Every structure is written in C-alpha cells, then in structure tokens.
C-alpha cells in the first residue's frame, strides 16, 4: 500500500486560496483542535456550551463579524470567513452556528441597517465576544413563511411596545442583545416588518431554553417571549423596511453554511478513512476492500465538488456579485451532500459509528438542523426552481 493522501491534497485545494486565506483557516483549525475538539463531545452529550467563555475566546480569535469592516471587526474577505466557518464546523455545527448567529445575523443586521449609535453601542463588544447576540425571526407558527409573523410592535408616543413570541432562536437564553423582527402598526408611519435591537435585560423579555434536542446539542437554543416590552424610538433599525431586512441577514449566514457543511463532511470522511485503515475485517483492513473504496471515492468527489462550489460562490461574493439564488445552490447542495456523507461514513465505522467516541453520528445529527435552518432544502429548491423557470411555486 502507498501513503494515503487527504481529500484536500488530492484536489489541490490549496491552489484555490491565497496565503492570507490559508493562514486564517490554519489559525481557526488550530484553535478548533486545541480548544474545542477535546471538549465538544462532552458538550454535545451534556446538551450545553460554555457560551460566555467561548465568546471571549472566539472574539480574541477574531471570527465574530470577521467579514464586516470597522467597529472592531476584522474586515477579511468573504472567502476567509467561509474558510473559518468550514474549520469551525469541522469540529461541530453548533460552534459554527454560534459564530454565524453572532456575526452574520445579529452583527450584520446592526452593521447593515443600524444607526451609528446602535453600531457604536453593540458592534465592538460583540466583535470582542463581550456581548452575545441572537436573531429572532422564526415563530412557533411561522418558519419557512416569515411573512406570516404575529410579533407586533405598536407605537406608544415615541416608544415601541413589542408583544409576541419567537421560537428556535440560537443563543437566545445566553444573549445580551436580540435583533427581533416584528410587524409594525401600518397606521403609525413605519410600514410592515421592522427590526428592533432589544437588550435582553429589559422588563418583559424572557428566553426560556428549549431542551431535549437530539441535534445541535452543543448549541443553546431558546424561545423569546415578549410581553409589553417597551423600547425607545431609537431601538428600531432605521436602515431597512420589510422582509428584505431579515432575508438579507439570512443570506449572509447561509453563505457561511455553504462552507461550513463541507467542514463537517470532511471531518466525517477523514475519520472514516482513518478508521477503515486500521479496522480489520475478514483478515485485512476495511480500507483494502473495493466496496469501501467505492464509498470513499464517491464521498471525496462530493466533498471536492462542494468545496469548489463554495469557493466559486465566495469569489462571487467578494466581487460583490452574488445573488440569493446562487447562495441557495450552495446551501442546498452542500448540506444535502454533507448529511449523506455523514450517514455513509457511519456505516464504515459500524457499531463504533453510533457513539460519541467518534464525531460521525454527532455531525450527522447536527446536520439535521443545518438542513432545516437558514431555509429548508425545500425552500432552496423553490428558490432555484423559480430562478430557472420563472414560476413562483412557494404558494
């Protein structure tokens, strides 16, 4: 037998990135290996995350809002941000979610649509990990169709009064600030859906944790309950009206997932290849059997193609020329392939594949959430279908 090569080496992935991009990926991978990987199975098993400590460390690493500029953000390329997501999700989708929600959802909303006062107040603290953010769009009755949301913001003098409930909100129970999307009173001036920057210690705000998840366990998820939450006029995000606001934030986070999913898939495949090299069945290593090699070769192709797609979209994004339906191509393909790969790798590990000794079942379970959040696969099929046919089939 010859020395095995990695998928990245086989595809010559390094030739697609520059020195700075590779350095950022290596720094995040190193942090992942030293600080996250030794603990992540335990966090997953316990259904928790040491969010405060990790926020400070990830802030120091510079990954929160890293593709944003100013206000203490690193101002890297979109590709570098994607590669950081990839290396984080190679450890666990929950950790990548932590960074996605902080940077691409909460910080991006404030950065893109906030007043200068809102930016100054929150962004430097959030970039440093001294404040944790969350993003409340989904409601108990409205996920794929956020236009139906019931959370309402009514005017009372200059103030806003928020009432309603949000569901499945990553980081909500540990957040210092929530970007909450609500329907404003049409008669009162501002039209339709608007975003509000809500400090979570305000009276009437609560965020009970959602327990008993079988997926994304190393991530804290909660509801948001708003009971007559009184906010000053300055709490509204002035820069955007309507669903374009939350949808453009989701587009940012989805972009990170296009890369991230490849990280989870790569980690599963690498684990399966190593396992197959040492596990002897019928008197020789599993890696030496043709059926195993067919699985490995096919999975490597999908990891490679997915990475090429991610890099293509990353370069388009850096050129300022990416369309939402193009991000849909990447999210749909890469998450769907990643979950298939995780399950196929699980077969290679046999019974050992079902334990937390190996990352494979953890990735497979996590990817169930990744398949659903940031637009389900079906929503992305409908986006792509609409782009290709011109027909809107959402309703």
Binding residues for ligand FAD, per CB under 6 A?
101, 135-138, 143-144, 168-170, 216, 221, 369, 372-373, 376, 378-379, 394
* Closer to ligand FAD by Cβ: residue 106 or 360: 106
Give the Cα separation of 77 and 367 in Å (integer): 26
Q: How far is the CB of 292 from ligand FAD (least distance, A)?
A: 33
* Set 89, 252, 337, 374: catalytic member: 374
Residue with tokens 């790798």: 345
374 catalytically annotated: yes
**What is the nearest approach in angstroms of ligand FAD to the Cβ of residue 48?**
14
CB-closest chain residue to ligand FAD: 143
Token pair for residue 75?
Answer: 């101002």
Q: How far is the CB of 170 from ligand FAD (least distance, A)?
A: 4
Q: Is the dihedral of CA 244, 180, 195, 66 positive or negative?
A: negative
What is the DSSP secondary structure assignment for residue 247, as one 8-state letter?
Answer: H
Q: How far is the CB of 72 from ligand FAD (least distance, A)?
A: 23
Per DSSP, 271 falls in state H
Cα separations (Å) of 314 from 25, 144, 257, 276? 14, 25, 12, 33
Question: CB within 8 A of 45, min separation 6: which ones?
Answer: 217, 356
Give the shortest CB-385-to-ligand FAD separation in angstroms: 10
* Cβ-contact 330, 258 below 8 angstroms: yes
The total of other beta-carbon atoms located within 10 Å of residue 17's CB is 18
Comparing CB distances to ligand FAD, the nearer of 25 and 253 is: 253
CB-based contact 288:1 (threshold 8 Å): yes
**Residue-wise DSSP of 125-154:** HHHTTSS-EEEE--BTTBSS-GGG---EEE
Task: Read off φ and ψ for residue 182, nearest 5 degrees.
Answer: -145, 155
Nearest to 300 by CA among 4, 54, 10, 1: 10
**CB 9, min distance to ligand FAD, A:** 33
Contact (CB, 8 A) for 393 and 378: no
16, 314 Cβ separation under 8 angstroms: no
Residue 97 C-beta: closest distance to ligand FAD, Å: 7
CA-to-CA distance for 66 and 30, rounded, in angstroms?
Answer: 17
Q: State how far the Cα of 235 lies from the Cα of 230, in Å rounded to an integer.
A: 10
Per the CB < 8 A criterion, the answer to whether 300 and 269 are in contact is yes
Nearer to ligand FAD, 66 or 379 (CB): 379
Nearer to ligand FAD, 71 or 373 (CB): 373
Question: Active-site residues: which are they?
Answer: 374
């Amino acid at each position: 037998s010859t020395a095995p090569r990695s998928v990245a080496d086989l595809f010559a992935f390094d030739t697609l990135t520059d020195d700075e991009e590779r350095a950022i990926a290596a720094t995040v991978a190193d942090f992942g290996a030293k600080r996250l990987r030794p603990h992540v199975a335990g966090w997953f098993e316990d259904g928790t995350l040491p969010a405060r400590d990790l926020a400070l460390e990830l802030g120091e690493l510079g990954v929160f809002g890293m593709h944003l500029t100013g206000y203490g953000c690193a101002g890297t390329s979109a590709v570098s941000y994607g590669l950081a997501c990839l290396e984080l999700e190679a450890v666990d989708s929950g950790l990548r979610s932590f960074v996605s929600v902080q940077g691409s959802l909460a910080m991006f909303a404030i950065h893109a649509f906030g007043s200068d006062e809102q930016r100054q107040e929150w962004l430097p603290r959030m970039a440093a990990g001294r404040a944790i953010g969350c993003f409340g769009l989904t409601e108990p009755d409205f996920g794929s169709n956020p236009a139906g949301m019931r959370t309402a913001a009514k005017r009372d003098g200059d103030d806003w009064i928020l009432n309603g409930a949000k569901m499945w909100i990553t980081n909500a129970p540990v957040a210092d600030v929530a970007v909450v999307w609500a329907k404003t009173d049409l008669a009162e001036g501002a039209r339709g859906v608007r975003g509000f920057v809500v400090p979570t210690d305000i009276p009437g705000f609560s965020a009970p944790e959602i327990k008993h998840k079988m997926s994304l366990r190393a991530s804290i998820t909660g509801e948001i309950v708003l009971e007559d939450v009184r906010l000053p006029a300055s709490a509204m995000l002035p820069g955007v009206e309507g669903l374009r606001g939350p949808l453009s934030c989701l587009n940012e986070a989805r972009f990170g997932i296009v890369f991230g999913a490849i990280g989870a898939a790569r980690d599963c495949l690498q684990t399966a290849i190593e396992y197959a090299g040492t596990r002897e069945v019928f008197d020789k290593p599993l890696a030496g059997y043709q059926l195993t090699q067919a699985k490995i070769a096919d999975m490597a192709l999908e990891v490679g193609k997915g990475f090429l797609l991610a890099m293509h979209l990353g370069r388009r994004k850096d050129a300022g020329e990416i369309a939402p339906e193009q991000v849909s191509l990447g999210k749909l393909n890469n998450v769907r392939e990643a979950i298939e790969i995780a399950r196929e790798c699980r077969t290679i590990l046999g019974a050992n594949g079902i334990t937390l000794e190996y990352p494979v079942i953890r990735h497979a379970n996590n990817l169930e959430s990744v398949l659903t959040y940031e637009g389900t696969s079906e929503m992305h099929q409908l986006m792509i279908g609409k782009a290709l046919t011109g027909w809107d089939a959402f309703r």
